[in-house]
Chains A and B, each alone.
Chain A
Amino acid sequence: MSNEKKQKKPKVKPGRLEKREARMGYLFVAPWLIGVFVFLLYPLGQSFRYMWYNIRITPVETKFIWYGTKNFSQIWLENAEFPQGLVTYVWQTLVEVPIIVVFALIIAIMLNGKIKMRAFFRLLFFLPVIIVSGPVMNMLVSEGAATIPAMNVQSIISAFGMFLPQSVAESVGKIFSNMIMILWYSGVQILIFLSALQKVDPALYEAAKIDGGSGWECFWKITLPTIKPMVMLNAIYTVIFMSGNEQNELINMIKNAMFSGTKEKGYGYASAMAWMYSVIVTLVVLLFFLLLGSKKDKYDREFKRRMRRRRRQERLQIRIQRRSERNARKFANDIRRNKYKTNDGSNPDY
């Protein structure tokens, strides 16, 4: 079997149809490829280069003045807002992402049930996705649409302040004051959960019901484990969305730095900020990945462990066999040369 695997596949010259299909494939993928190169890889490389320079874009030329790590030191030593903004971002993301994901899951389960006007409600919950994109959301936020008027945020901060440090209490208060906006961010996640829920095999629920499983037990034993990969997907999607949308203070800070004409700021300074920010975002994504990454089930883990143990034993067997052969050869040589001695120094006569 293993020898068969090692054998190379015979080369078959692709036919005309296959070639044409491949060409069509490349043609369809070409816009995306061009997009990636022009709008992702090239700007990425460019911003990586920019962060080492102070860049002045005059009306007649672009001046690159070598700065080395000065952009970074200026950001950390002279810009009080950016480090503070990073801390706030991490804290808010860690708190808001679970809220959004859990809310989206609850709504998705409700929308998946048999309710009247189901299609209308599904549409209703997806509407904010259209509204939150672009300046409409900015307008709504500035008009106070992101807050719940009846909610006394100050009281919440005071209540949390009794047992939490003031800065933490204020961050929690900020979450409450933006509660509507946080929930508005759930549209896409609801859609993803909905499609996952619809793919759960109804036979599983049926079997569970026959065995007397309640709805609560079905959720924990069937629904959640089945859609677990989607939880991670949604959490990561939410982190990425929250890290790059127009309401994000750090994004605005970077944008302002980019267009700022002051001598320290500009494209170089903004690039340095953006790279540091992207490192932090990557770490946050990694954290959610590690927390929610799908672990194999117990049987699978046990099977793999046994396989590993078996392979280890096989390797050991091979080593023992080789050593025995080596010792046997040595023993035979010693006897042949009459050099073999027992432990007490005697020379047995073979």
Chain B
Amino acid sequence: MKKRIVALILLVAMVLGVVGCGKPSSSPAPTGSDNPNPSTDPGEQITLTFWSYEDETTAKLMAEKFMAKHPNIKVETYIIQDMSTDLSAAASSGTFPDVFEGTDSDTALANMYWLDISQYFDADPENKNLMKTVTEYGIGCFDTKARYAVPMMFWPSAVFIDRNVIEKLNLKMPRTDWTWAEMISLIKAATVDDRSGMKYYGLGYYNRLDSLYGIAACANAERAIKGEFGFNGEDFDLQYWAIGEQEFSDLKLNGYVAPQQETQEMEDWSGDWNTWFGATGHVAVFSEGSWTFQDLWNQAGYQEQYGLDIVPYVTPNVVNEKEHNVIANMYMGGVSTSCKHPAEAYELLKFMGWGVDGWNARLDIYEDMSIVNDSGIALKHSHMPYPLTLDEGIWTRFKKLFPQDEDHAKYWNDYFSSIVRPVPYGWYSIAGYWNFCDQYFNNIGIHDLVDQGKAKAADYVLEATERANYYHAEAMISYFGPDGYNILTADELAKFKAVVDAAAK
């Protein structure tokens, strides 16, 4: 009897386990384009799931503020650890979020995660006051007529200068509307090794200079560069990238660039393997993500501790155009194809991303330094994004989160006015970009080869341009052709097929 009970318990546990692992039954949900007017009755209680890369505390507080505005909507938040893994697992198990933020657009497009939200976006008057490149370059449309995503979290690239280093080296601070050539001159002048102590380096980098150069390389009249590698919305031209790549490589090879963290070079230079060049007081210019300022340098006592005086600079322009594009990190957000309430989901997306209401709520959170996350850090120091809206009220409040004393205000104001034409990195906005990098560019290891002086960037221009065009065309067919969203016209399809066929030959 005892044996039988044990066996039965084992069997039941097994069956329950198997059933528990199974996929919950879910009927296919209508897509937004099929169902333009959702049938959510006013007052009907609905639940929306929102997956993002936000600070967890910020996401929860923002969700609470949204729910306060929309009492009939319950928002459940989740912080994405790895986009591909989390989303593909969710798609397999039928628990896909209603609204999500992605860092890799190829993944979202290849698997049709994003719903066409053109009707909601185009009908929203608030979107006319976004940074111009969003609509002008169709960021989030992926060179189609439909809009699948909108930039949610935005961090422009930045060049920072340590004023203390410039002063110590008896150099002159450059003008704030400097050019590329002036930046390179400063980097070279600020590299000093007098053998009496730690060497001074001209440049410490997080963003490679070729990425900055590739976007700001030429005047719009010559080629309107809408993305990395000289992408103009139709095809690539890597000659602009190659100049920047070679220039950056030459700087590295000639000792103008500070060593990276956790390298032997860093240990030789600073005496500590773990030192970060931004905390040495011996680097003049930094090509950093803009978040570095709030997350590190602007924390109480940080600059005093390391003897720094960091100010932001406009990403220099190559052709001396007053208003030019700057490369930026732009996490794309969208409504999922499985969402049953796309209109409400769009409102949530906008609130969490670029909307004025959302940003006012966000600024309330950031201005209150008593609100901290689980690590005890005030939320403005935890990966705070920049507003994508041009709303003056928002920007007035946002600027106050940065140093506004007499010494620093001008630098910050000039910097803020220079970032109004952001262009996202390729993986956010160009179909097939990741395939190109994964299967060609990084596969060959072009950055390493050029950086080590084993090859010249110019040698790759023709081949890389041809491969980039091939991967883009192939992705466009795959994502938007008959096997995907199926929105390409016969002419468009034929055009992309011709590129693929030509490359195959």
Contacts and interface: CB of A to CB of B under 8 A. Distances in A.
**A and B from one complex:** yes
Interface of A: 24, 27-28, 30-31, 34-35, 38, 56-61, 63, 65, 78-80, 256, 258-264, 266
A261 B478 contact: no
10 contacts: A27-B7, A34-B11, A56-B112, A57-B92, A59-B112, A59-B336, A78-B443, A79-B439, A261-B84, A261-B106
Contacts of B31: 60
A287 B89 CA distance: 37
B274 interface: no
Given A31-B13, A58-B91, A263 B110 contact: yes
Contacts of A80: 443
A58 B337 CA distance: 8
B4 A24 contact: yes
Contacts of B8: 27
Contacts of A63: 483
Given A27-B8, A259-B88, A264-B435, 17 more contacts: A27-B11, A28-B10, A30-B10, A31-B11, A31-B13, A57-B92, A57-B111, A59-B113, A60-B29, A60-B337, A78-B443, A259-B89, A261-B83, A261-B88, A261-B107, A262-B434, A263-B435
B257 interface: no
A225 B298 CA distance: 71
A74 B478 CA distance: 16
> Among A27, A58, A80, A262, which residue has the most Cβ atoms of chain B within 10 A?
A262
A124 B336 CA distance: 52
Interface in B1-42: 3-4, 7-8, 10-11, 13-15, 18, 28-29, 31
A59 B475 contact: no
B190 interface: no
A110 B41 CA distance: 76
Given A27-B11, A56-B111, A59-B338, A261 B87 contact: yes
Contacts of A261: 83-84, 87-88, 104, 106-108, 110-111, 113
Given A34-B15, A57-B91, A261-B88, A78 B113 contact: no
Nearest to B22: A38
A79 B439 CA distance: 7
B439 A78 contact: yes
Interface in B79-102: 82-85, 87-92, 96
A38 B15 CA distance: 10
> Among A31, A35, A260, A261, which residue has the most Cβ atoms of chain B within 10 A?
A261
A59 B337 contact: yes
B3 A259 contact: no
Nearest to B8: A27
Q: Which 6 residue pairs of A and B lie closest in terms of their CB atoms, listed nearest first?
A: A261-B107, A59-B338, A59-B96, A27-B7, A31-B14, A263-B110
A65 B110 CA distance: 13
A86 to B, nearest CB: 17
- Dominant SS at the B interface? helix
A219 B45 CA distance: 77
A59 B340 CA distance: 12
Contacts of B92: 57
Contacts of A262: 106-107, 110, 434-435, 438
A30 B88 contact: no
B229 interface: no
Nearest to B18: A38
A30 B338 CA distance: 38
A58 B11 contact: no
B256 interface: no
B366 interface: no
A99 to B, nearest CB: 29
Contact of A24 (B7, B91, B107): B7
Nearest to A21: B3
Contacts of B443: 78, 80
A78 B91 CA distance: 27
A256 to B, nearest CB: 8
Contacts of B91: 57-59
A80 B441 CA distance: 12
Contacts of B142: none
A258 B18 CA distance: 22
Nearest to B110: A263
Contact of A27 (B4, B89, B107): B4
> Among A60, A61, A256, A264, which residue has the most Cβ atoms of chain B within 10 A?
A60
A264 B337 CA distance: 21
Interface in B372-393: none
B88 A57 contact: yes
B240 interface: no
Nearest to A61: B28
Contacts of B479: 263
Contacts of B111: 56-59, 261
Nearest to B440: A78
A79 B438 CA distance: 9
Contacts of B106: 261-263
A309 to B, nearest CB: 53
A332 B88 CA distance: 87
B141 to A, nearest CB: 19
Nearest to B95: A59
Contacts of B338: 59-60
B11 A56 contact: no
Contacts of B83: 261
Contacts of B88: 57, 258-261, 266
Contacts of B337: 58-60
A260 B10 contact: no
B475 A30 contact: no
Contacts of A58: 91, 111-113, 337
Contacts of A264: 435
Contact of B10 (A31, A65, A78, A258): A31
A263 to B, nearest CB: 4
A330 B31 CA distance: 91
Contacts of A57: 88, 91-92, 111
A80 B483 CA distance: 27
B174 to A, nearest CB: 41
> Among A56, A263, A264, which residue has the most Cβ atoms of chain B within 10 A?
A263
A39 to B, nearest CB: 8
B16 to A, nearest CB: 11
A13 B443 CA distance: 69
B457 to A, nearest CB: 21
Interface string B240-275: 000000000000000000000000000000000000
A264 B436 CA distance: 12
Given A58-B111, A262-B107, A35 B14 contact: yes
Contacts of B90: 59
A16 B336 CA distance: 60
Interface in B464-485: 475, 478-479, 483
A212 B85 CA distance: 65
A36 to B, nearest CB: 11
B104 to A, nearest CB: 7
B355 to A, nearest CB: 24
> Among B14, B108, B336, which residue has the most Cβ atoms of chain A within 10 A?
B14
